[in-house]
Structure 1
Amino acid sequence: MKILVTDKIADRGLELLRAEGWQVEPVSPKEAEAVRRGLAEATAWILRSGTQVTAELLEAAPRLKVIGRAGVGVDNIDLEAATRRGILVMNTPGGNAVSVAEHTFALLLALARRVPEADRSTRSGEWRKSEFAGFELKGKTLGLVGLGRIGQEVGRRAQAFEMTVLAHDPFVAAALARDLGVELVSLDELLARADFLSLHVTLTPETERLLNRERLARCKRGMRILNTARGELVDDAALAEALASGQVAGAALDVFSSEPPKDSPLLKLPNVIATPHIGGSTAEAQEEVGWRIAQQVRDYLKDGVVRNAVNLPTLSAEEYRRLKPYLELAERLGAFAVQVAGPMARVSLRYAGEVGELNTHLLRNAVLKGILGRVVDEPANLVSAATLAAERGLTVDETYVRREQGFPDTLGVTVHATAQQFSVEGTVLHGAALRILAVDEIDIEAPLEGTLIFMRNRDVPGVIGQVGTILGSRNINIASFALGRREQSGSMGSLGPGGGAEAVALVRVDGAVPETVLQALRSIPAVTFAQVVEL
């Protein structure tokens, strides 16, 4: 197994991967051809912000399963292309939180005391002591846009300086903010009240140019702005205008919309402090995020454990242990359904009992993987399945129920196909054994594995014998034979066409089943449907 590494990663992280017997290949991101050659055989790709992951590069990586970003931001990765190709993307949030927070606060102090300006003046031979009077932080208000791990660390440091801390973050609970001693407010209120504004949100279409001309005009006059998150959060031209007019008194920027910034109007202003994206660049942070991403990649490739995934829900080792057999169940039920029913427009899932308490997002994707893996020419897996389904107009609805009788913990899959509706239900026994429990609401218990012949028939004498004769005469061994019929009501029962109750059969056989054998089975008068299902 090859691990491609295209940015500097902690040595102990690389040694962790080598200890598994894997080939670790460090390549500079500037060596385009070497990167492309490495991707041709790579199972994992570990990188930092210095590598651009494009759709074109991903097309050159047929074996790639996971991309590990040592750090937080993933705007250098084409997530849509990775997801479509079924490639898991993970990052390491919090690994450099303290380093970024400390750098943010260093910039805040430098703004308050005009340290860079005073330094330049003194080095030039001047002694303009009175011109560089600053102000105390005590009693001032800091506004945090984003109260994640880094925002929280910055807030703690501000409180140590006796500042009032406000925050705008729609995804943070009020109770958490209260525990942190932070006041949650709207963005407009934060802009109006804050003496310092610090950005700590990820880059999304909604946050791009969050600080635009309109919002900067609504800021408290004389506010100072800090950005150690993403350069694209700020409209550079609008900020330059606000700094020149005095609406914004100063800015400290560690990130820029284009890096390195070429001809940025911000770098020409004396009230701007600029650093070259070094917020997370401490020895401790570099070591920590490199070690963390190596652990995450190893655990995913070895055990399927998902941590800090950007395009898939996170799973602990214990959650994965509980979920794993049900993922296999879900995939096989989806594969069973598509082989019987054919093309479909909608899938209905029913989670019963403890199955509904598992990660149903992944169970849904596993069902779609089973369905699409039989019909698309692209890699369908837990990452890509939902995207591939949406592209094909395949919709999914889900319900949660509690079974009062029979097996309590089950997964049901109903597919709404072009010409019919078909349902299949299954469970996991003893933590590992996969079983079908019902087909089209007819109870039948059978192993969900191997080569199966699924039949619909009328429950009349002689069917089992005829099936056995046909298979035996073709030297096809029967491993198991399961039967089920719709429960009879009254004296006549539930009759299929031509008389006899509706019945189903699942015959597990050893070896392949030629089409001529299926034709022979379909020729049995009581058999209305016969299809091979490969699981």
Structure 2
Amino acid sequence: MTRRPRCALAMAAYLPARLFTPADRARMEALGEVEPVVLTDFDAPGARRVLAEVDVLVTGWESPYIDAAVLDRAPRLRAVLHTAGTVKHHVHPVCFERGLAVTSAAGANALPVAEYTLAWILLAGKGVMALKERYARERTAVPLHREYPEIGNAGRHVGIIGASRIGRRVIELLRPHDVLVSVHDPYLDAAGAKALGVRTLPLDELLEQCSVVSVHAPLTDRTRGMLDRRRLGLLRDGSTLLNTARGALIDQRALTEELVAGRLHAVLDVTDPEVLPADSPLYELPNVVLTPHLAGSSGNELTRLGRAAVDELERFVHGRPFRAPVAGPDLDRTA
């Protein structure tokens, strides 16, 4: 741009202090004129003036919705830079129709999810849940070599559902380990699978063959409930199912029944609903690890998201292509 763009933050009021280190905040202010007030409501007093002058919106969790009415009040707006993953909840398709550039920090957010997933894949292969429970109960030496010959990660068959950003990052992190990785993704062709170093399988076959299955598919009308009662029944006894994507990808009632029966193990960072009712048995089952949607960026990891948005602002200012653009036509098959 020939002038410094006017930028505004649209997100929860507490977020900027968590997202931007002092160095990144200074870098953002050197690149553009940053409004001092965080926009939490586009109809609030003063918001109309900001929208009338803004060139770039830097959005985050709890951003107000950007629809046609908002765009009509923001005639200079050229880019929306999101400091999190999905933009579906705050960017209306009209934004793409009117030529706005939209970016996402989904790539930065993929790293902690993939790290969390890798840790649990390896722990599942070692039989940690069952052995931890037995060790705590019996408080004596466990005859591992005699009674647990199937544990370990040498040649473990791991299934990845969804070659998304996170799914691909998990595959990358698994590469140094002695495991066989199979992927189900209807959009992954043979060339793509070869480049990733994995083989593709139909979903039913992946569930039947893999002893650890990790879900990384987006939630769409087509994928909602994709792991239903029949497909959960295809998993081998003692298999581990990990879900860090969206709870609604799995039939929650059918999964709960399988877990109560003790046939499967599960690591669930997301559920349907989220949060589960207080009387759900999953909170106390020894074969379940239930975590409060923490796999994604949390705590000090938020600074990666803020830095990713400032990097995109720098590209915008210098007329360079964005690193992580979001394409409107892809929204129906992304998270």
TM-score band, normalised by shorter chain: 0.7 to 0.9
Deviation of the 1:67 alpha carbon: 3.0
Q: 1:298 to 1:171 in 2, by over 3 A?
A: same
Paired position in structure 2 for 1:74 = 87
In the alignment, which of 118, 143, 155 is matched to residue 139 of structure 1? 155
Q: 1:24 to 1:119 in 2, by over 3 A?
A: farther
Classify the secondary structure of the residue corresponding to 1:137. Answer: coil
Paired position in structure 2 for 1:100 = 113
Q: Is the 8 A contact 2:227 2:249 kept in 1?
A: yes
Q: Is the 8 A contact 2:124 2:212 kept in 1?
A: no
Structure 2: how far apart are the matches of 1:180 and 1:86? 33
The sequence identity of aligned pairs, in percent, is 28
Structure 2: how far apart are the matches of 1:35 and 1:195? 52
**Matches of residues 4-403 of structure 1 in structure 2 within 5 Å?**
4-6=9-11, 7=15, 8-11=18-21, 12-25=23-36, 27=38, 36-37=44-45, 39-40=47-48, 41-42=50-51, 43=54, 44-48=56-60, 50-51=61-62, 53-54=64-65, 59=70, 62-63=73-74, 64-80=77-93, 82-83=95-96, 87-113=100-126, 115=128, 127=139, 129-130=141-142, 135-247=151-263, 249-263=264-278, 264=280, 266-281=282-297, 285-300=301-316, 303=319, 305-312=321-328
Structure 2: how far apart are the matches of 1:186 and 1:151? 16
Q: Is the 8 A contact 1:16 1:295 kept in 2?
A: no
Q: Is the 8 A contact 2:316 2:322 kept in 1?
A: yes
Structure 2: how far apart are the matches of 1:131 and 1:254? 31
Paired position in structure 2 for 1:396 = none
Q: Is the 8 A contact 1:55 1:78 kept in 2?
A: yes
Deviation of the 1:56 alpha carbon: 7.6
Classify the secondary structure of the residue corresponding to 2:240. Answer: strand
Q: Which moved more, 1:77-86 or 1:90-99?
A: 77-86
Structure 2: how far apart are the matches of 1:47 and 1:234? 30
Q: Is the 8 A contact 1:144 1:200 kept in 2?
A: yes
Question: Letter of the aligned partner of 1:191 in structure 2?
Answer: L
Classify the secondary structure of the residue corresponding to 2:166. Answer: helix
Deviation of the 1:19 alpha carbon: 0.8
Q: 1:85 to 1:176 in 2, by over 3 A?
A: closer
Structure 1: how far apart are the matches of 2:97 and 2:47? 17
Question: Letter of the aligned partner of 1:196 in structure 2?
Answer: V
Question: Letter of the aligned partner of 2:224 in structure 1?
Answer: E
TM-score, normalisation: structure 2: 0.75
Classify the secondary structure of the residue corresponding to 1:165. Answer: strand
Richer in strand (by share):
1
Q: Is the 8 A contact 2:114 2:167 kept in 1?
A: yes
TM-score, normalisation: structure 1: 0.50
Structure 2: how far apart are the matches of 1:65 and 1:97? 26
What does the per-residue CA deviation read over 1:295-340, in whole Å, with 9 as the maximum and x for residues that have no partner? Answer: 22453466484443324589xxxxxxxxxxxxxxxxxxxxxxxxxx
Q: Is the 8 A contact 1:111 1:252 kept in 2?
A: no
Q: Which has the higher contact order (CA 8 A, sep 6+)?
A: 2
User: Which consecutive residues of structure 1, in runs of 5 or more, have no partner in the other structure?
Assistant: 315-535
Q: Is the 8 A contact 2:211 2:236 kept in 1?
A: yes
Question: Letter of the aligned partner of 2:73 in structure 1?
Answer: P
Aligned-residue RMSD, C-alpha:
3.7
User: Which consecutive residues of structure 2, in runs of 5 or more, have no partner in the other structure?
Assistant: 1-5, 331-335
Paired position in structure 1 for 2:3 = none
**Greater gyration radius:** 1
Q: Is the 8 A contact 2:183 2:198 kept in 1?
A: yes
Question: Letter of the aligned partner of 2:153 in structure 1?
Answer: L
Deviation of the 1:245 alpha carbon: 2.8
Q: 1:214 to 1:5 in 2, by over 3 A?
A: same
Classify the secondary structure of the residue corresponding to 2:102. Answer: strand
Structure 1: how far apart are the matches of 2:237 and 2:36? 52
Structure 2: how far apart are the matches of 1:302 and 1:313? 26
Deviation of the 1:206 alpha carbon: 1.6
